[in-house]
Structures are given as structure tokens and as C-alpha cells.
Amino acid sequence: MTNDLFKSIYLDVLEFCQSHLQMQPQAVSEVLYNVWLPLATRLVSHRQQLNRPLIQGILGGQGTGKTTLCRVLTLIIGYLGYNTLSLSLDDLYKTYRDRQILKQHDPRLIWRGPPGTHDVELGLTVLDKIRSCELPVSVPRFDKSAYNGAGDRTTPEIVTNADIVLFEGWFVGIRPIDPSAFDHPPSPILTPEDQAFARDINDKLRDYLPLWERLDSLIVLYPKDYRFSLEWRQQAERQMIALGKPGMTDSEIEQFVKYFWCSLHPELFIKPLIESPTLVDLVIEINSDHSFGKILS
């Protein structure tokens, strides 16, 4: 079965990987056979056991390949005869107007992204309708380019069929931790103001717990060193600038990434999560060159 599926889907996956990721055929073959195909068949098997749509959480920081994983899984799962819906935590952002009001109340929310900037109730409505097969469902979508990059809601997508939902985001599934962890936190949480911000964001995570309860399973894309995400983001911006597109400088990227480390530090939040046998089903290690390392079930 796996060999037949591999042969039938290989060319489509190869085309996607070469056009979007500049991957060599040998690397595509290996990752398709060893990671993507087994994962897709595992999700389909889980969906069949549930006898209702599967809500699959995918947690990964910047540059870990969440979008790529969703695109490839969608391709393979389609070959297996099932419909996939990709939903990002980003799609659940509050509107531009609501986030401006939020910023007036808390000027520390300088960028969209941290807990508190999403419409959790909207996410619950969408996932509950899909889980109970109340289709079609209106799925929110977010346009990051609106308002000069501040972003805003755009036209929702009407989805008539969804067997498997790939719900991805940079803190999908992350839970609040003991506030004492911020008494002696890692860098860049340095000042008392940083510590207060981290504690407040930690509190806001409680609002997201009902959303995580809708997950049937959670996959974590885990960089061997969380600081890779800073390097990856800087590389991506340099490539955009080289193509004549607007991009941030290295120092601007550093400020941006460290803001997110201050709000939910990977060492404090993701490390304990992946050591939990009850909260995470699969951990995929990510090497510095974006390739996969160990896969821990």
C-alpha cells in the first residue's frame, strides 16, 4: 500500500518541493517515505477510528515548517480520499479595529501574535461545527498584508467538507505554567517589566484551554535549539530583500523574535510540553538546516 501510494503521489510532491523549497529529489524521496507518508496514513487511520472529523493540532515556532507540512499532508490525504482543512491560529486574530482598541488598553501588545490577540470564541464555534459535522461552515481567514502589514480579517472561506482539520500555530496546545518560573527566567526576559509581561501573557493562556480541548491529537515541530528560529527568520528576510521585496533588517528581526520569546519563552513552555506523555502525541525534531531529526512518538 505504502509503495503504491508513494509511486502515485511522488511526482506531485516533488514538484511542490522543488518549486517552493528547492529540495533535491533524493531528499524529497527520503522525507516523503520516512515522515510525510507515515504521518498522513496515521492521520487517516485516526480519522477512521473517530468516525467524525479529526482535529489535528500542529505546534511549531517561526520557520519550523508548519505551512509546508500542512500543504504536503493535504496533498497525500487527498490521494487517500479525504478532505483536509488547514486552519491557522492566525486566522483567529481579532479584527484590526479590535486589536487597536486592545493596544490602547495594553500598549505592550505592539505586535499581533501573543495570547489575547485572538478571538477564541470564533475558533470554538468553527471547530465545534466541524466536529459535529454541521457543514457548510464559514471559516475565518486573515490577510497579513492589510493596513501596511498590521493585518485584518478578509472574506471567510465556506467549507462544505472537512474530514481532517490541520490546526497549526506558534502556540497551539501550549498551557499556562507555574508563575514562579518567571522569578528567574531565561534571556531575553531580563527586567521586572519583562517578567510582568511574561506573567500576564501566561495568565491569558487560560482563555485558550477550551480551544486545546477540541484537539484530538498534537504534533510538535521542535527545533533542536529554539534560537534557530531567529537565524531562519533573518535568512528569509535577507532572501526577500535580495529579490527586491521589502524586508526587515537583522536587528529589527531580532527585536521582533525576542518579543515573542518574552511573551512565551520556548524553554519555559515547549520543553515541558514535549516531555508530557498525555498532551503530545508526536514530536518531530528540526535540525538547523530545516531537515527532520528524531521523531518521538
* Residue showing cell 520516512: 34
Neighbours of 137 (CB within 10 A): 20
Amino acid at 246: P
Q: Give the 3-state secondary structure of residue 82.
A: coil
pLDDT tens, position by position, 221-269: 999 999 999 898 888 888 888 888 777 788 888 888 899 999 999 999 9
The ranges assigned to domains in the chain are 1-81+169-296
pLDDT tens, position by position, 170-202: 999 999 999 999 999 999 999 999 999 999 999
Sign of CA dihedral 156, 20, 166, 150: negative
Asked whether 263 and 200 are in contact (CB, 8 A), the reply is no
**Mean pLDDT of the chain, nearest integer:** 91
**Pairing of the two strands 282-286 and 84-88:** unpaired
Residue 251 has a pLDDT of 87
Amino acid at 286: I
Sign of CA dihedral 144, 150, 152, 154: negative
User: Shortest CA distance to 200 belongs to which of 176, 225, 164, 230?
Assistant: 176
